[in-house]
Amino acid sequence: MKNYISLHFDTRDILGGADAILGITGRKKDVAEVFASGNMHLTLEEHDERLAKVRALLEEAGEKPLIMSWEEYSEDELQAAPLLSVSLSAWTKARTTTGSVFGVTYDVSDACRTCLTGVRQTSPLVVDGNAMLDVNKHRVAHTTDKNLLVLDTDVEKLLAANVTGANFWPATAKYKSGVIGEIRWQQAVIENVLPPMAASTGLDETLKCPTCGRGRQRAVGSGRDLHITYRREDLKNLCDFNLSWEWFGDFGKYDPDAPDKGASSFRPLPWIFVTPKVMNLIRGKTKKEQNYQGCGFFPIWIEDDTHDKPYLMT
C-alpha cells in the first residue's frame, strides 16, 4: 500500500511561478499539471522528499494549497483480500437515475418506520434512458440509489463462473418520448447481507437510526482515513456478492400517510462488497478499459486477536 498526497494551488504568487515548482518536481504529467489559469495540481507519494520541498516553498509564499490524500493498494493486496468494497461515487458518468417515477415498485412492509432501511425493490429496474449516452461507455454502471448494473457480456462471464450472492435481472430504459427499450446492462440483485462491521471502522454512532440501529450510518473519515474493517470470525459465510448490514445516509424518512413515498428516492443505502473473483472478471485489463470500468475496488481490513490493530491480508 502506498500513501499519496495531492496539492492544488495557485502558482502566480510564488517567486518563479510554476517553473519554480517544476524545478523541484520535474515535468511528468502524472506528477504535476499546470493550468492556463496559473493553478497547479501536484501528486506525490507521502514520503517523497520533493513534497516537503514544495510545501516549504508554498509556506514561504503564504500559499495555502487544497490538500487531498488517499491510499493505493498493490495487486497482491487486492487479490489477497477476502472482500473488496465496490466504489461507485467517483464514477459520475457511469450513473443514471431510477425510481417510482419510472414505474419501479418497492415493498416497504419490512422497512424501518423511521429511516426506510430495508426497502425492497419488487419489479425489474427501469432507468432514465436520456442519461445512458455516457453510461453506454462503461462496463459497470449504477443508479443514484446504488443499484449495480453490469454489462451483459460480463454477466455471462459471472454466470459461467458460478458466482454466488446475486441474481441478474434484465433492465430497461425509459426515454423522454415515453418509449421503454432494452439496455445491455443487467441489475445485480444482491441477496447476501454481511454481519455488522467492526467498531474500529469508525462509524459515527451518534447519527445512526434510533429505531433500527442500521440506517442513517455515516463514516467519520473518507479516503485514507476510512478503513472498512470486519472481524475475521464474521467472514465465514461469504458470497461473491454481498451487502453491508449497515445502510448509509441520514435522509430517509417514513411517511405513514404514503408508505411507499421516499422508497425510491433519498434513503439510506447499503454498501456493496465482492470477492477478488468478481473483480477479476469485470475490471478493465488495459488502461483504456480501466478508464471505463465504472467502479473501483478497495480491500477490507481485518481485525482479530492475533493483531493489535486492523491489518490487510497479504
pLDDT in tens, 135-151: 888 999 999 888 999 99
pLDDT of residue 202: 87
**What's phi and psi for 189, nearest 5 deg?**
-90, 105
Global pTM?
Answer: 0.86
Please check whether residue 188 is in contact with residue 237, taking contact to mean a CB–CB distance below 8 angstroms.
no
Domains of the chain: 2-72 (3.30.70), 75-303 (no CATH)
How far apart CA 118 and CA 269 sit, in angstroms, is 9
Can you tell me the mean pLDDT for 180-205? Answer: 93
To the nearest whole percent, how much of the chain has pLDDT over 70? 92
Helix, strand, coil distribution of the chain in percent, nearest 5: 25, 30, 45
Residue 303's identity, in one-letter code, is E
In DSSP terms, 190 is beta-bridged to 166
pLDDT digits (tens, 9 = 90+) for 279-313: 999 998 888 888 899 999 999 999 999 999 999 99
Residue 194's identity, in one-letter code, is L
pLDDT band at 26 (very low <50, low <70, confident <90, very high): very high
